[in-house]
Structure 1
């Protein structure tokens, strides 16, 4: 097992970010269904938006104005989570680490909640950034449901959103993930590029300006765009999977990507929130943000 590290930049003062991290009411907006905080003794969250969320499994170890550290038991293993905050000019650099999580590519094949942590925190931190900046968080993943469907309004022209979802250079820019694609039915959709990905997903349907479906092998990802009073409604669905084992890892990653896509189109002078991601075994060149 390995230690994962994620750093993001939030366009909000450190005090506002810390309040979002420690106010139970705020946590129930961007993190979890239930949260109880009583510093320096307790920091717990649980519910349907938390892996293994029937009861809280966090134990606070340390808190101060710039950091939180807690143990989180997952799959019967104690993982250590640390969140650090550094004030910058008009923004806050947040760094999160978690121990005892699978590296790459083990996280893709190892069962259990620890394999979700890479994409779980990607979504959670995207929600935190939106909340601290005064924006509505995009979504939370319901780990009690096999329905993987989300709708989001993006304040941008439909064709502009379509191009950002299909044009590889634009897609790589906002998503932070290298991609190469053949935009036709049967065409390859290769995360990491054609050379690095010998078994890519396949485009099974594409309607220019409106929709695309991609077959990832164990599930099909479909998105559709519609005009909505000057904005674009994006409907995003994962289907065709074994409902006894919903692919929450991919769904979490997709939702975190949608959060960045919305920011890309709506925030003036946009820049990605991701600063650095470290995960043992992660292929060189897969992430463009590192």
Structure 2
């Protein structure tokens, strides 16, 4: 088996408060899942629309202490293991790490197994944990029962400011947490990292109002912006894919990026929540 995937984020709260959010069923029902139950020593369950294979709970608690929550999770016929671990980052911040076995980038790219969604699923979950702790509105979760991939959020910034942060390479690289190069014209190229995404191109570009990018196999991403009393109502849509196999992995990644985009515009002295890990965080 390959090394576990690890995702790490900094949450602005003392370790004890973060631990409570990880173990209180009522809290889990807000930031993580539609349904959740926790009853040590063996019950740590979450399920529902926002959980992969969530028609019923498939987890079992393996270990729980003041800094660790570890549970088995049966997914697509495999017994995976997930672990939350906490470490203090000063008196008022906590680094939350999620370690997840049985994840592969190949499955994520091919959407060949539900386990392929795990990395971006946990990125979005940690983003919403940070929002929950901060008392901010949560980012929409992935509905694994629906083929309609659409989400809408309100951002405390003007449509022009938000649009610029979607097409300026330096700005996107900052809030997305991964190198992105954008040629902001219709037909312009969008590339990620060292050329990944060479085939992606801009289909529509209306300053302050709309951006559409064709990514190829994951489909087409559209951002629609509208003024809402000086703020921006941003609607994100993914389309152009096989409706019987929605690209939930890439959609979860887009939603976790949307969370950081909101923070980028709304948090004074903004800094990314993500911390370096062996497999990256977004």
TM-score normalised over the length of structure 1? 0.92
SS for the counterpart of 2:243 is: coil
Partner residue, 2:166: 165
Hey, what does 2:204 align to over in structure 1?
A: 205
Deviation at 1:41, TM superposition (A): 2.4
Q: Partner residue of 2:213?
A: 214
Contact 1:191 1:200 in 2 (8 A): no
Spell out, residue by residue over 1:113-157, the C-alpha distance to the aligned partner (whole angstroms, 9 max, x if none).
111101111101100111012212111110000111111000112
Alignment match, 2:16: 15
What CA RMSD, in Å, does the superposition of the two structures yield over aligned residues? Answer: 1.5
Q: 1:46 deviation in Å?
A: 0.6
Instruction: Give CA-to-partner distance per residue, 1:2-51, whole Å, 9 cap, x none.
Output: 31011110011111111111111111111111101012321000111100
- After the TM superposition, which segments of 4 or more aligned residues of structure 1 sit over 6 Å from their partners? none
Counterpart secondary structure, 1:199: strand
More off after superposition, 129-138 vs 29-38: 129-138
Partner of 1:100: 102
Aligned to 1:112: 113
Instruction: Find the aligned partners of 1:141 and 1:110 in 2 and give their Cα distance.
Output: 15
- The aligned counterpart of 2:249 is 249
Q: Flag the 1:246–1:96 CA change in 2: closer, same or farther, 3 A.
A: same
Correspondences of 1:144-159 after superposition (within 5 Å):
144-159=145-160
Aligned ranges for residues 1-290 of structure 1 at < 5 Å? Answer: 1-2=1-2, 3-89=4-90, 90-102=92-104, 104-109=105-110, 111-193=112-194, 196-197=195-196, 199-218=198-217, 219-279=219-279
SS at match of 1:278: coil
Structure 2 residue matching 1:203: 3-state secondary structure? strand
Structure 1: runs of 5 or more not aligned: 280-286
Change (3 A) 1:92 1:62: same
Q: CA deviation at 1:278?
A: 2.5
State the TM-score, normalizing by the size of structure 2. 0.95
CA distance in 1 between counterparts of 2:276 and 2:57 reads 29
Cα distance, 1:96 vs structure 2: 1.1
Report the number of matched residues.
Answer: 279
1:283 is aligned to none
Gaps (5+ residues) in structure 2? Answer: none
Q: Tell me the distance in 1 between the aligned counterparts of 2:45 and 2:268.
A: 35
Does the aligned pair in 2 maintain the 1:49–1:140 contact within 8 Å? Answer: yes
